[in-house]
Structure 1
Amino acid sequence: MHNVFSKLSVGLFAAGVTFPSFAAMTLGDPKTDTGALTVSGALRAKYNYKDYGPNIDSDNSIKFDAAIVNIAYESPKVFGNVQWRCYQWSELCDFSTLVSAYAGYRLNSTDHITLGLQPVPFGPSRFWDSSFYAGLNYTMGLQDVLNLGVNYHTELPSATKIDLAYFVRDGGHYIGTADKATARYSANMVKTNGSEMTSLKEKNMFVMRAKQELSFFNNDDLDMAVGGSYWYSTLENQQNHKEGNRKAWSLFNTLNYQNLGITLTAGQIKIDNKDPISNYSTFGSFDTAYNIANSGTFYSVDVNYTFKDVINGLNVTPYVVLSGLSKDEQNYKNSQRNIIGAAWNYKQISLYSEYITSKNDPFIGGTTNSLAGGDDGRWNKLLNVMFVYNF
């Protein structure tokens, strides 16, 4: 297994380094029929220190992490987005991937249709928590997943938001250093040749989400919403050519009161991969393959508070993120990833400082089977610091 820690981790850039002043470039006016095209991006650098394993970083060096290019189009009726990311494991862009590529059309002020490589409407939103590293549900392919399909979004007079989506396939694989199938941004089921791994293709994904805003408190400072989502897909077993399925559901509650934000998410996954010898399925992301238990209950808790304009426009947001998977299979060890950190935002610069404790986690001191049967069950610790320059 690759050093997945260094691959998925993202961290800090050194103090004292200066950048030329760039800004997003916009051509046109989004309020006109011809619309506006905006080109933007980000440069990221990282510092990580891992308190686990035999290869604890000795140089404590700051390293380049990624470059992001984002192209967006906006007009009264039509909108779209394309994003490409270039990462560095050992050489510049040795892992690079398309993240999104979609176009949409607004039917009216509340309804729109989106077609292309886009976020799957599962859970409270694309991102379930405030952290940079992201909770365990990202690794499980439930959060921040972008697949190829069509989504219809509508908002009812009752303050109900509904998404109905169909995805023909996953987001595909791109340029990487390991198994080609795992060179992808989102965590998807992948085709592998490993004797202890499955080989699956997910297709025909039907996903729906309903989110209801609650206004009975009659408080302008308070925003609350509850909702649920459901995911059903067909799985093609590449080894025996049988068809199985994935079923997942989630319930969530979001609360925002002044500068306080709380998001609670919980749900269940059930995977029938038609593999007679395994109770797990193989997923891949960020150039790495790993196994996930076929059945279990997942959760995510995010609590954050923003201190605005602390010093000359500096905003600071401390946060706590708890996430995990409780597995149904007997003798499978449960997995957890907990994060305490803070985001520091000043104009075009963002800094994330995070301390992560995790067990039975393939990306933090674990193994290929950490999210399936588990590993040694020890708590592993990671300091993750990230610098982002947005332009």
Structure 2
Amino acid sequence: MQKQPISKGVFTWKFCLAIFCIFLVAPLTAQEEPEVSVGGALRYNYNLSSWKDGQKNRGGDFGYDIFRVNFNAKYKEVYLNAEYRLYSDAFGGGVMKQGWMGYKFNDIDEIQIGLTQVPFGIQQYNSHNWFFNLTYYMGLEDDHDMGIKYIHAGEKYEYHFAFFKNSEELRFGSDTESSTSRYSYDVVGRNKEINQFNGKFVYKFGDKAANRLGVSAQYGGLYNLDTQETGNHYGLAAHYEITQNRWNLKAQALTASHNPINAEGESREALSFGAYGAPYEVAADFNLYSLAISRNIPVNLGPVSNLEFYNDFGYMQKHKSNFTDSYMNVTGVLVTAGHVYTYIDYAAGYNHSWLGGNFVDDFAVGNPDAKWEARFNINIGYYF
């Protein structure tokens, strides 16, 4: 039977107790040999891109993707979750994807502190494929920032409240730009994300709560290193997910706006976003619509036990009239064979920084004369 939601008064003192446990009790219990588990993955990648003539002449390229290590530790109700990834130098090198300490009040209420996932939109992913959906490239899918998050996950109602002091911060100078060596996309360059508040509500209904209908909101500051003034940014999203038999459907619509206070003469129509060691420009104001569908088919083909076929679509509608919109569509299959997971994707993009065209400003001003480009990709990973 589900436990009843805790009252406001009980929450207040339990909330304070959780903070005390995490910062004072956790270091002491570490000496009492907590439960620790270590996992990870090694992945390789083959790709053949329509816009790379030299690569097409070679028949594509096959090489190293990432090696990652996952750590989980627990003592009583205090626990740790961390993931470190090692990419090639060209893609940012070593990065921390996530790393947080947590405390469980009960089976449905918990708190997390550290580099934790931002509660916005469909989670954990708004996609099924290896490339994610368009939402990821604007920092609105599987984003992780530095802060504190409270989660209530009941049978019918789920809600998240969070405060993030800033995104992953690797440089602590007075006017130092944020590093682009990170896993998830954030504002970089002369602006920094600060003091962000997030709220997310999900209503679960149907057999085994197969339907998840929700809304998300976030609001935060954009501190400019030149003017030393703080602008703002916000995002609003409505989302729905259903898992029925072997089918899964994800649908989401969102709007986002960024209002930095830049130095005189600098455009406020686009901002610099960064991850994987390289920045690019993103339109300051846009709507984003996505629809993703998949179907699992159990099979018995030697070590292969399941095939998940999917199609994920995203459309970025930029508010600026002279900006050209961006599109993305990925059709593929995930092949499960024991601990080996293989994504076979055909990813197509129009004004997409990672799928042909001009990397620097495809997600900003774009190119009205652009054409669709595509990348055939196979990602093979052993997960342990």
TM-score normalised by the shorter chain: which range applies? 0.7 to 0.9
When residues 86 and 180 of structure 1 are mapped into structure 2, their CA distance, relative to the original with a 3 A threshold, is farther
**In structure 1, C-alpha distance between the alignment counterparts of 2:110 and 2:38, rounded to whole Å:** 23
Match of 2:167 in 1: 170
**In structure 1, C-alpha distance between the alignment counterparts of 2:152 and 2:98, rounded to whole Å:** 21
Residue identity opposite 2:223 in structure 1? E
1:356-367, aligned counterparts within 5 Å?
Answer: 356-367=347-358
Match of 2:15 in 1: none
Of the structure 1 ranges 132-141 and 66-75, higher mean CA displacement relative to structure 2 is found in 66-75
Measure how far apart 1:36 and its partner are: 2.1
Measure how far apart 1:242 and its partner are: 2.0
Residue 294 of structure 2 corresponds to residue 304 of structure 1? yes
Residue 377 of structure 2 corresponds to residue 384 of structure 1? yes
Match of 1:52 in 2: 51
Match of 1:374 in 2: 366
**In structure 1, C-alpha distance between the alignment counterparts of 2:219 and 2:113, rounded to whole Å:** 19
**In structure 2, C-alpha distance between the alignment counterparts of 1:76 and 1:212, rounded to whole Å:** 30
CA contact (8 A) 1:173 1:184 kept: no
**In structure 2, C-alpha distance between the alignment counterparts of 1:94 and 1:330, rounded to whole Å:** 34
Q: 1:243 aligns with which of 190, 207, 230?
A: 230
Match of 1:328 in 2: 319
CA contact (8 A) 1:151 1:164 kept: yes
CA contact (8 A) 2:259 2:268 kept: no
Measure how far apart 1:126 and its partner are: 2.8
When residues 170 and 263 of structure 1 are mapped into structure 2, their CA distance, relative to the original with a 3 A threshold, is same
CA contact (8 A) 1:73 1:81 kept: yes
**In structure 2, C-alpha distance between the alignment counterparts of 1:81 and 1:140, rounded to whole Å:** 25
Residue identity opposite 1:271 in structure 2? H
Structure number with greater CO (CA < 8 Å, separation at least 6) is: 1
Residue 285 of structure 2 corresponds to residue 292 of structure 1? no
Give the secondary-structure state (helix, strand or coil) at the position aligned to 1:201: strand
Measure how far apart 1:364 and its partner are: 1.2
Match of 1:227 in 2: 214
**In structure 1, C-alpha distance between the alignment counterparts of 2:311 and 2:140, rounded to whole Å:** 20
Measure how far apart 1:68 and its partner are: 0.5
When residues 361 and 257 of structure 1 are mapped into structure 2, their CA distance, relative to the original with a 3 A threshold, is same
Give the secondary-structure state (helix, strand or coil) at the position aligned to 2:242: strand
1:44-193, aligned counterparts within 5 Å?
Answer: 44-59=43-58, 60-89=60-89, 95-156=93-154, 159-173=156-170, 181-191=179-189
Which has more helix, going by share of residues? 2
Match of 1:8 in 2: none
Q: 2:331 aligns with which of 330, 340, 345?
A: 340
Measure how far apart 1:309 and its partner are: 3.5
Using structure 1 for the length normalisation, give the TM-score: 0.83
When residues 63 and 203 of structure 1 are mapped into structure 2, their CA distance, relative to the original with a 3 A threshold, is same
Residue 258 of structure 2 corresponds to residue 261 of structure 1? no
Residue identity opposite 1:65 in structure 2? D
Measure how far apart 1:182 and its partner are: 1.0
Residue identity opposite 2:249 in structure 1? I
**In structure 2, C-alpha distance between the alignment counterparts of 1:233 and 1:341, rounded to whole Å:** 36
When residues 182 and 55 of structure 1 are mapped into structure 2, their CA distance, relative to the original with a 3 A threshold, is farther
Measure how far apart 1:55 and its partner are: 4.3
Measure how far apart 1:83 and its partner are: 1.0
CA contact (8 A) 1:131 1:341 kept: yes
**Runs of 5+ in structure 1 lacking a partner?**
1-32, 192-198
**In structure 2, C-alpha distance between the alignment counterparts of 1:321 and 1:357, rounded to whole Å:** 10
**In structure 1, C-alpha distance between the alignment counterparts of 2:243 and 2:164, rounded to whole Å:** 31
When residues 229 and 239 of structure 1 are mapped into structure 2, their CA distance, relative to the original with a 3 A threshold, is same
Residue identity opposite 1:126 in structure 2? Q
**Runs of 5+ in structure 2 lacking a partner?**
1-31, 172-176
**In structure 1, C-alpha distance between the alignment counterparts of 2:123 and 2:234, rounded to whole Å:** 19
Give the secondary-structure state (helix, strand or coil) at the position aligned to 1:314: strand
When residues 356 and 309 of structure 1 are mapped into structure 2, their CA distance, relative to the original with a 3 A threshold, is same
Measure how far apart 1:239 and its partner are: 2.1
CA contact (8 A) 1:230 1:248 kept: yes
**In structure 1, C-alpha distance between the alignment counterparts of 2:234 and 2:317, rounded to whole Å:** 16
Using structure 2 for the length normalisation, give the TM-score: 0.84
**In structure 2, C-alpha distance between the alignment counterparts of 1:126 and 1:102, rounded to whole Å:** 16
Give the secondary-structure state (helix, strand or coil) at the position aligned to 1:103: strand
Q: 2:268 aligns with which of 270, 278, 286?
A: 278
Match of 2:39 in 1: 40
Measure how far apart 1:80 and its partner are: 1.4
CA contact (8 A) 2:221 2:230 kept: yes
Measure how far apart 1:94 and its partner are: 6.5
